[in-house]
């Protein structure tokens, strides 16, 4: 029930980090990856192809709603059909809530939440029109349930991701479309460099992770394949933590 041969999967935010790990995992299971990111995707293309999958790449700024619509229409026209949407793209901006600038709040919410919502809408319509039992998977966060410090815009957006996941799962389930989320814990990527590179900030986190280490992008391969495959056909509206036990400590 896990192989994805013949499936086409759109993965956003996969030039590096967690998204790249997701793309590689889906490719290993046989999926053709359609990669979206604002950054250079050549490294992802090479790694996906080395894993045995095909890869089409689209460079796009997901903070621009018009660009979101245009890239969706373009990729569907070129792919013919899509089976899986993995809304992973995200950005973070660190500043105290006393000083958090409105323009950065708007951009963080646009990339992390609004783009995911718009793409989910387009994907669901696409699935329904073609009778595809599609999968929509969203990247939430520990901050979907925690508050955090100096990341208020990010926290607002990630709480929104879980609300969106629940709401869309209710409306899309009658059409055989599953909507779920993953919640990464502390993963050693560029997004978290400000924390893992600072010994004082890192020490209490290290002490709390039962698995004894920070996560790596490859830790997302299995959960991505599970939620994208037939194995999860009767699971919808839930969030799976991928955090080495941090959230239950």
Q: Which residues belong to the active site?
A: 154
Q: In the chain, what is the straight-line distance between the N-terminal and C-terminal CA atoms, in Å?
A: 32
How many helices (H) does the chain have, and how many strands (E)? 9, 7
Is residue 135 within 8 A of residue 75, CB to CB? The reply is no
Find, among 113, 204, 210, the residue nearest to 162 by Cα. Answer: 113
Query: How many Cα atoms within 13 Å fall on the side-chain side of residue 196?
Result: 13
CA distance 139 to 185: 11
Q: Helix or strand or coil: residue 213?
A: coil
């Amino acid at each position: 029930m896990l192989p994805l041969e013949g499936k086409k999967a759109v993965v956003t935010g996969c030039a590096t980090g967690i998204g790249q790990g997701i793309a590689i995992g889906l490719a290993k299971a046989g999926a053709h990856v359609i990669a979206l990111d604002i950054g250079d995707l050549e490294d992802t293309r090479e790694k996906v192809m080395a894993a045995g999958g095909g890869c089409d790449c689209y460079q796009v700024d997901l903070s621009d709603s018009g660009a979101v619509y245009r890239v969706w229409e373009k990729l569907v026209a070129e792919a013919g059909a899509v089976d899986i949407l993995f809304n992973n793209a995200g950005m973070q901006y660190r500043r105290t809530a006393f000083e958090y600038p409105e323009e950065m709040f708007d951009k963080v919410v646009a990339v992390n939440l609004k783009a995911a919502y718009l793409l989910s809408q387009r994907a669901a319509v696409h699935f329904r029109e073609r009778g595809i039992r599609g999968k929509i998977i969203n990247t939430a966060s520990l901050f979907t349930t925690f508050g955090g410090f100096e990341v208020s815009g990010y926290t607002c957006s990630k709480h929104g991701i879980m609300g969106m996941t629940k709401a869309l799962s209710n409306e899309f389930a009658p059409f055989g479309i599953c909507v779920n989320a993953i919640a990464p814990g502390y993963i050693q990527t560029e997004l978290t460099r400000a924390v893992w590179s600072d010994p004082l900030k890192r020490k209490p986190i290290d002490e709390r992770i039962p698995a004894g280490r920070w996560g790596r992008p490859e830790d997302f391969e299995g959960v991505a394949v599970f939620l994208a495959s037939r194995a999860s056909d009767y699971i919808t509206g839930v969030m799976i933590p991928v955090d080495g036990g941090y959230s239950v400590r």
